[in-house]
């Protein structure tokens, strides 16, 4: 039974309900419009005063997600702010340091905007307690080595530092140990002596080659290298290894409401940078950081969306004026849209209460989709008026006919959005909930506002004054004359596009449509914060992204650091626990005091020693060379060759030069040993290291108020790309499963976005199929097809779940759909076929779209994935109206002019609405507009070419079959009549 025929009571109920609503609205048009106006004003006021905006990307993620709970726990201890990063570049490190100091001092004047600036690290009192950072074993070993120098610092025998005596002592010790230890263990006991000889000889050789290159000839008493000893007392600036870049990091103070976020802090920072650059033109200063990237993205997106909305409104209005060839009716439709959008904003404020950086796009979406219902209604109304219907009957007939398609399309599109609310990604779920409600409210506005406006605007308008919209007669004629050819050609185009979606590789078939995870590729081209971030990674091997791990103690933090540094994907690790002694003061206190006690009486000036005799030195070095040459030890052989070269250069010098060299070298040798003693004494404060001794600029970042210690893990590779990001996440989680941070948030969020859109599309497809079955089947058939299938699918899932082999929800939905369509096909084959034909525009149109994306190398990304539910809703909308138009007609099918006009207009308005985003500088929004324009165009092609051609071909075949059946029935009737007449004649003759 045709579901749209007058005999169908279910359909009559819906159509008559819509007609009754329309009758009430046009009868009480003033009341209806006043009511709509009051509600709209109330919604606008509610939105202005109550709607909030959330700009943090963390607001897009479900707070109950396991990975996000880790992030929340981290932010509760250390705060949610990321650093603003000022990058200073200049000709020399000193210039960079100077500019960093100026920047830091000016930023510190604005504590209301900036927190915890970090550009230099002042060592404070830590150097005086340096020995406490050694282990007890290292301290004891140092005391033993220090005791070897006892005659020098205790007895004042500084003459023992003479170079000739040093070589004599080394030669004596090597010979005596060689005599005492024979066999395999000899090298073990001689190694320290060989090392000392190598250090001494290397120092002499280097100093002879360059008088400015003096290295201490004394082995370190404790294991601290000279560079670390020097840096322990100097102010350290944040520079890259090459000294070409300096960094200043500071936390911005976020505003609590609106889109401002860190805007005030960022604007002030840019103002300060401008001032400093004007004063220091030799320096180049750039600003980047996660807050800057996000702020730039939000501000660009906000400006782009405003521009897109304005362009969309004007574009849609202009298209309506051209399409309906007038001004009155398009203005009425736009008024209806404005009311629907006002209601949608009020609904959003009451239900969600805020917009996020994803759901802010719903305004453009509603402009593109919400206007569609008004266009279909207006196109049918104008067509009926041209047929001679009066105002009120035309409005009632419009609601009875195309109104049912509007309701079906609105429900299917809204459900496609609502299905996104079932996804785990909160940003998409909120967008789905807002979009679904907005679609339904625009549909309600179509039946409340638009009929009331038309009843008053067209009250005294004659039919000849009504506009004549675009009817697409050439398209009608082509499809009517060649339905089979048009269908075959269009399906061939579909097949070609589908073939472009995949290509064969060595590993098999793979998709040519690529998903780009890199969030930087969504930003506007040439954005400073993006470009400088890339340069930081390339030039400084540093990243703005890092994972964070939280330890309960300094010991745990140091242990985690060792494990993280051993990972191939990790470049370096930053933490503060290494600045805290690894051993308690009870373990090291007495040992540290021993250093101070032994080194109390050191001379203030470098003691004078006897002048060296060049000939004596030459002879003793020659003897030492001969001694070392006897040993096969690698260090001995290397030192022997070094001495040989030294002697050759030394002998080529004049006596005066030799004396001058030896005097200077001897002085520096004695001074270096005294300096080492003084450094040990200066680091021998045994007072325990307190938390206040650590630099404030670091403790505020790396230690929480609860005493938790932060470890920052920096990646080796560019983790904006998915492959290195996956590897980095996998490796750091192997060390600490609870590790979190921006890279892990980005990774999990990207996975959730992709999964959410995929899940939403599957759910939406299933719900749309169910709605179409309910729409096309009679009430009894729908109940017989759906209820048993639901019960069977749920029971099967429950049984398998209890047996420990649960199936996925998607599999259960698929099983339910198969059973529902199977039963429906048995009960009403034509309605099932109509439902499947309705799905052609979204499904086949989607295939064509992906084929075009593959051919044009347009990638999918986290922004434009929204095309999946949108294309599904738009395509179903078109399919519903075409198939409804088909079911309302008898005989060979010819697409009605109002349907062609409405679908063309709705598709073009959607393309303009979404295409307006192509003016955006934000590449993510641009890609959304581009992909949606392609997708809507593909759905339009299938809706007006492929689907009508197939329906016309089917109706022609059905008409031919019916004609044959009728001819057969006529022949049968004639034969029966002739046979009955013959029988009557025979009976009469008898």
Helices then strands, counting H and E runs in the chain, come out as 35, 14
Asked if residue 328 is part of any domain, the answer here is: no
Q: What's 110's domain CATH number?
A: 3.30.70.1320
Region 904-924 average pLDDT: 81
112-116, 321-325, 584-588, 964-968, range with greatest mean pLDDT: 112-116
Nearest to 661 by CA among 200, 199, 219, 210: 210
Q: Using the predicted structure, report yes or no on whether residue 81 has a pLDDT greater than 70.
A: no
213 class by beta-carbon count within 10 Å (0-12 exposed, 13-18 middle, 19+ buried): exposed
CA distance 983 to 978: 9
The reported pLDDT for the residue numbered 7 is 40
Region 329-348 average pLDDT: 91
Q: Using the predicted structure, report yes or no on whether residue 797 has a pLDDT greater than 80.
A: no
Quick one: 213 and 250 in the same domain? no
Chain center to CA of 35: 44
Instruction: Identify the residue with better confidence: 390 or 301.
Output: 390
Domain count, the chain: 2
Region 353-358 average pLDDT: 79
E strands, 556-683, are 570-575
Quick one: 215 and 155 in the same domain? yes
Rounded (10°) angle between helices 742-776 and 809-827: 10
The reported pLDDT for the residue numbered 31 is 93
Residues of the chain above pLDDT 70, percent: 90
In sequence order, what are the beta bridge partners of 575? 711
Asked if residue 748 is part of any domain, the answer here is: no
Eight-state DSSP code of residue 538: H
Collapse the DSSP code of 957 into the 3-class scheme (helix H, G, I; strand E, B; otherwise coil) and give the result.
helix
Can you give the residue range of the structural domain that contains 101?
A: 83-122+238-288
Asked if residue 874 is part of any domain, the answer here is: no
Helix, strand, coil shares of the chain, percent, nearest 5, are: 70, 5, 25
Q: Using the predicted structure, report yes or no on whether residue 32 has a pLDDT greater than 50.
A: yes
CA distance 232 to 41: 68
CB 551 within 8 A of CB 747: no
CA distance 25 to 632: 109
The reported pLDDT for the residue numbered 185 is 63
CB 287 within 8 A of CB 346: no
CA distance 378 to 401: 12
For the ranges 71-85, 340-354, 462-476, 795-809, the lowest mean pLDDT is seen at 462-476
CB 497 within 8 A of CB 848: yes
Asked if residue 256 is part of any domain, the answer here is: yes
The reported pLDDT for the residue numbered 848 is 92
Region 188-214 average pLDDT: 88
Quick one: 216 and 268 in the same domain? no
Residues 238-273 pLDDT 10s: 887 777 888 898 888 876 554 556 788 889 999 999
Q: Using the predicted structure, report yes or no on whether residue 3 has a pLDDT greater than 50.
A: no
E strands, 474-569, are 502-505, 508-511, 547-551
Quick one: 214 and 251 in the same domain? no
Q: Are strands 245-252 and 84-89 parallel, antiparallel or unpaired?
A: antiparallel
- What is the sign, positive or negative, of the torsion defined by CA atoms of 331, 337, 342, 345? negative
- Domain closes at, from 288, 304, 322: 288
Residues 655-669 pLDDT 10s: 899 999 999 999 999
Name the strand (E) or helix (H) holding 245: strand 245-252
E strands, 257-330, are 284-288
- Domain closes at, from 661, 690, 710: 661
- Domain closes at, from 260, 288, 316: 288
Predicted confidence band of residue 2 (pLDDT cuts 50, 70, 90) = very low
Nearest to 551 by CA among 539, 562, 538, 541: 562
Q: Does the model's pTM come out above 0.85?
A: no
CA 113-114-118 angle, to 5 degrees, is: 170
Predicted confidence band of residue 1 (pLDDT cuts 50, 70, 90) = very low
Asked if residue 42 is part of any domain, the answer here is: no
Asked if residue 311 is part of any domain, the answer here is: no
CA distance 918 to 924: 10
Quick one: 196 and 255 in the same domain? no
Eight-state DSSP code of residue 52: E
Q: Using the predicted structure, report yes or no on whether residue 736 has a pLDDT greater than 90.
A: yes
Eight-state DSSP code of residue 613: P
832-841, 892-901, 951-960, range with greatest mean pLDDT: 832-841
Asked if residue 743 is part of any domain, the answer here is: no
Nearest to 131 by CA among 695, 585, 690, 692: 585
The reported pLDDT for the residue numbered 228 is 41
Which residue do the tokens 């159509």 mark?
15
CB count in 10 Å sphere of residue 327: 12
Q: Using the predicted structure, report yes or no on whether residue 349 has a pLDDT greater than 80.
A: yes
Quick one: 117 and 244 in the same domain? yes
Asked if residue 111 is part of any domain, the answer here is: yes
The reported pLDDT for the residue numbered 256 is 58
The reported pLDDT for the residue numbered 225 is 44
CB 846 within 8 A of CB 935: yes
Quick one: 656 and 621 in the same domain? yes
Quick one: 607 and 656 in the same domain? yes
Instruction: Work out the mean pLDDT of the chain and round it to a whole number.
Output: 83
The reported pLDDT for the residue numbered 231 is 43
């Amino acid at each position: 039974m045709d579901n749209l025929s007058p005999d169908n009571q279910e359909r009559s109920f819906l159509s008559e309900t819509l007609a009754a609503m329309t009758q009430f609205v046009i009868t009480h048009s003033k009341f209806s419009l006043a009511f709509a106006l009051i509600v709209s004003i109330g919604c606008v006021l509610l939105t202005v005063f109550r709607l909030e905006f959330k700009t943090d990307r963390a607001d897009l993620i479900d707070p109950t997600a396991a990975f996000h709970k880790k992030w929340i726990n981290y932010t509760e201890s250390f705060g949610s702010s990321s650093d603003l990063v000022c990058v200073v570049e200049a000709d020399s490190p000193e210039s960079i340091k100077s500019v960093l100091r100026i920047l830091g001092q000016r930023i510190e004047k604005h504590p209301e905007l900036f927190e915890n600036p970090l550009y230099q690290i002042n060592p404070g009192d830590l150097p005086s307690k340096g020995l406490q950072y050694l282990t007890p074993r290292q301290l004891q070993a140092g005391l033993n080595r220090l005791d070897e120098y006892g005659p020098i610092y205790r007895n004042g025998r500084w003459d023992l530092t003479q170079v000739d005596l040093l070589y004599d002592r080394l030669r004596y010790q090597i010979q005596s140990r060689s005599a005492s230890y024979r066999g395999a263990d000899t090298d073990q006991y001689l190694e320290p002596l060989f090392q000392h000889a190598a250090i001494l000889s290397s120092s002499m050789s280097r100093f002879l080659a360059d008088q400015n290159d003096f290295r201490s000839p004394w082995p370190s008493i404790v294991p601290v290298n000279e560079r670390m000893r020097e840096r322990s007392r100097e102010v350290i600036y944040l520079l890259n290894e090459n000294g070409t870049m300096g960094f200043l990091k500071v936390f911005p103070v976020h505003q609590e409401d609106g889109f401002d976020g860190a805007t005030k802090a960022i604007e002030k920072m840019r103002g300060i940078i401008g001032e400093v650059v004007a004063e220091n033109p030799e320096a180049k200063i750039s600003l980047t950081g996660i807050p800057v990237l996000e702020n730039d993205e939000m501000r660009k997106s906000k400006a782009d969306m405003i521009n897109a909305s304005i362009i969309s409104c004007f574009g849609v209005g202009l298209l309506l004026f051209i399409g309906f060839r007038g001004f009155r009716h398009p203005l009425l439709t736009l008024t209806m849209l404005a009311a629907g959008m006002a209601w949608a904003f009020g609904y959003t404020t009451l239900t969600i209460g805020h917009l996020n950086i994803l759901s802010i796009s719903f305004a453009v979406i509603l402009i593109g989709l919400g206007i569609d219902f008004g266009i279909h209604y207006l196109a049918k109304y104008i067509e009926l008026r041209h047929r001679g219907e009066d105002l009120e009957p035309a409005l009632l007939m419009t609601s009875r006919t195309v109104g049912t398609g509007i309701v079906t399309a609105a429900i299917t599109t809204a459900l496609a959005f609502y299905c996104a609310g079932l996804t785990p990604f909160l940003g998409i779920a909120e967008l789905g909930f807002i979009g679904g409600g907005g679609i339904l409210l625009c549909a309600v506005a179509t039946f409340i506002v638009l009929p009331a406006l038309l009843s008053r605007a067209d009250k005294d308008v004659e039919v000849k004054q009504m506009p004549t919209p675009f009817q697409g007669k050439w398209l009608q004629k082509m499809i009517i004359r060649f339905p089979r050819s048009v269908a075959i050609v269009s399906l061939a185009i579909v097949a070609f596009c589908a073939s472009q979606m995949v290509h064969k590789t060595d590993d098999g078939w793979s998709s040519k449509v690529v998903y780009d995870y890199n969030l930087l590729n969504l930003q506007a081209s040439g954005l400073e914060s993006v470009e400088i971030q890339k340069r930081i990674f390339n030039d400084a091997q540093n990243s703005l992204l890092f994972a964070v791990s939280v330890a309960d103690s300094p010991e745990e933090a140091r242990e985690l650091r060792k494990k993280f540094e051993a990972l191939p994907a990790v470049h370096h690790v930053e933490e503060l626990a290494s600045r805290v002694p690894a051993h308690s003061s009870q373990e090291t206190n007495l040992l540290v005091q021993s250093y101070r006690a032994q080194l109390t009486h050191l001379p203030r000036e470098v003691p004078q020693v006897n002048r060296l005799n060049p000939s004596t030195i030459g002879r003793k070095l020659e003897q030492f060379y001969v001694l070392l040459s006897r040993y096969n030890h690698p260090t001995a052989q290397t030192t022997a060759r070094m001495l040989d070269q030294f002697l050759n250069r030394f002998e080529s010098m004049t006596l005066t030069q030799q004396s001058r060299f030896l005097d200077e070298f001897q002085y520096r040798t004695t001074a270096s040993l005294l300096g080492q003693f003084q450094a040990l004494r200066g680091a021998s404060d045994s007072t325990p290291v307190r938390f206040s001794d650590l630099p404030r600029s670091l403790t505020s970042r790396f230690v929480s108020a609860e005493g938790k210690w932060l470890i920052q893990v920096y990646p080796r590779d560019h983790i904006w790309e998915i492959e290195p990001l996956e590897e980095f996440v996998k490796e750091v989680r192997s060390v600490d499963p609870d590790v979190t941070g921006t890279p892990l948030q980005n990774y999990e969020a990207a996975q959730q976005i992709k999964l959410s859109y995929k899940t939403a599309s599957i759910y939406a497809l299933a719900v749309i199929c169910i709605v179409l079955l309910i729409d096309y089947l009679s009430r009894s058939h729908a109940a017989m097809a759906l209820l048993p299938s639901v019960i069977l699918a749920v029971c099967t899932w429950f049984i398998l779940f209890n047996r420990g082999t649960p199936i996925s929800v998607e599999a259960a939905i698929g099983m339910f759909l198969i059973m529902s369509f199977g039963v429906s096909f048995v009960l009403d084959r034509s309605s099932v076929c109509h439902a499947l034909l309705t799905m052609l525009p979204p499904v086949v149109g989607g295939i064509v779209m992906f084929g075009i994306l593959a051919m044009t190398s347009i990638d999918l990304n986290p922004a434009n994935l929204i095309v999946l539910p949108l294309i599904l809703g738009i395509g179903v909308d078109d399919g519903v109206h075409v198939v409804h138009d088909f079911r309302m007609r008898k005989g060979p099918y010819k697409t009605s002019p109002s349907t062609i006009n409405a679908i063309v207009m709705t598709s073009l308005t959607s393309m303009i609405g979404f295409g307006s985003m192509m003016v955006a500088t934000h590449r993510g929004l641009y890609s959304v507009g581009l992909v949606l324009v392609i997708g809507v165009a593909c759905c339009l092609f299938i809706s007006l070419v492929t689907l009508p051609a197939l329906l016309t071909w089917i109706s022609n075949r059905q008409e031919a079959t019916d004609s044959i059946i009728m001819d057969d029935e006529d022949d049968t009737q004639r034969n029966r009549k002739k046979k009955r007449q013959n029988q009557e004649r025979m009976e009469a003759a008898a």
